[in-house]
């Protein structure tokens, strides 16, 4: 009995090169959520109320940004590619914002913080959306998609651990906490063009023509919200995001002010937490005895 031809799979080096963008993005999420608010409040003299209000307002403004970017990316057609172009656009935007935030002078106000947070989230959204959509277009099957996104997640974990090691090493060398945070910023600024350059250089992008009748209208997107399943998925995603989000914002404060740990010890514990997330899924998916007996 003949079998259907197997779809061509991307090589492991190609997927690893493509997953490079996950390294600075995952590191960025952790550094901004855990360390940047405390850095502004404790080292730059910005009121914690102002910091919290700025982050909250910027995130509210950021809500419609991703759908709008998705529509624009979906309609982008160039000889250079669709997602390759947007990846190159997002990198310098993010780098500029990272420099202005992590190297900000003491005493900056709410307007400064809000403007550069908005720019940072714009660059981050561009890179995350283009990277995820590009990954989905590279996959030729369900299993290949799981393989690509699994490797991207693993590279992201590596990025999170790397950025956490920086302030730990800086502390061991006698540097203060603020200098460790600024070193994290320089790491992110340096890694972003390197990762994006490797992705653009090493990853193929199939350029396809889109038929006019296949274009989606804004009314089509609005029609999604008439389905109950869409609301349930969004509610589940919101609840899953709130827990880690709240924990990230409070982690350093709770560890230091309530539990009595130093910031360096809190970073070490966070490394353990992240690495446990690598091991735990494999343990949870380990075959049970009942599975082998068919029950």
Closest CA to 195 of 127, 257, 295, 242: 127
Q: What are the distances in angstroms from CA 151 to CA 19, 134, 147?
A: 7, 14, 6
**Domain spans of the chain?**
12-204+217-285
Euclidean distance between CA atoms 265 and 268, whole angstroms: 5
Token digits of residue 201: 């250089």
Kindly give the confidence (pLDDT) of every residue in the chain, 295 residues in length, as a single tens digit, with 9 standing for 90 and above: 444 444 567 888 999 999 999 999 999 999 999 999 999 988 888 888 888 888 888 888 888 888 889 888 888 888 888 899 999 999 999 999 999 999 999 888 889 999 999 999 999 999 999 999 999 888 878 888 888 988 898 899 999 999 999 999 999 999 998 999 999 999 999 999 999 999 999 898 876 555 554 566 667 777 777 888 888 988 898 888 888 888 888 899 899 888 999 999 999 999 998 888 777 655 665 655 544 444 4
CATH fold for the domain made of 12-204+217-285:
Growth Hormone; Chain: A; (1.20.1250)
Sign of CA dihedral 14, 71, 153, 170: positive
Model-wide pTM > 0.75: yes
């Amino acid at each position: 009995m003949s079998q259907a031809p197997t779809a061509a799979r991307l090589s492991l080096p190609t997927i690893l090169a493509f997953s490079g963008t996950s390294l600075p993005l995952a590191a960025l999420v952790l550094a901004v959520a855990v360390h940047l608010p405390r850095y502004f409040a404790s080292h730059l003299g910005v009121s914690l109320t102002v910091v919290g209000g700025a982050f909250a307002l910027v995130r509210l403004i950021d809500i419609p940004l991703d759908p709008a970017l998705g529509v624009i990316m979906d309609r982008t057609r160039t000889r250079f590619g669709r997602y390759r172009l947007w990846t190159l656009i997002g990198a310098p935007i993010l780098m500029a914002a990272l420099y202005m935030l992590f190297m900000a002078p003491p005493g900056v106000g709410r307007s400064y913080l809000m403007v550069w947070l908005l720019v940072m989230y714009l660059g981050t959204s561009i890179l995350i959306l283009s990277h995820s959509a590009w990954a989905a277009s590279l996959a030729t099957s369900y299993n290949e998609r799981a393989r690509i996104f699994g490797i991207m997640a693993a590279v992201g974990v590596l990025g999170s651990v790397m950025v956490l090691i920086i302030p730990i090493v800086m502390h061991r060398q006698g540097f203060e906490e603020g200098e460790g945070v600024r070193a994290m910023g320089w790491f992110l600024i340096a890694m972003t063009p390197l990762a994006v350059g490797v992705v653009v250089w090493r990853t193929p992008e199939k350029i396809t023509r889109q038929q006019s009748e296949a274009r989606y209208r804004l009314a089509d997107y609005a029609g999604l919200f008439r389905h109950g399943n869409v609301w349930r998925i969004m509610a589940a995603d919101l609840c899953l995001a709130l827990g880690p989000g709240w924990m990230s914002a409070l982690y350093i404060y709770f560890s230091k002010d309530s539990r009595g740990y130093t910031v360096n010890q809190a970073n070490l514990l966070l490394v353990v937490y992240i690495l446990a997330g690598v091991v735990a899924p494999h343990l949870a998916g380990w075959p049970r005895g009942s599975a082998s007996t068919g029950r």
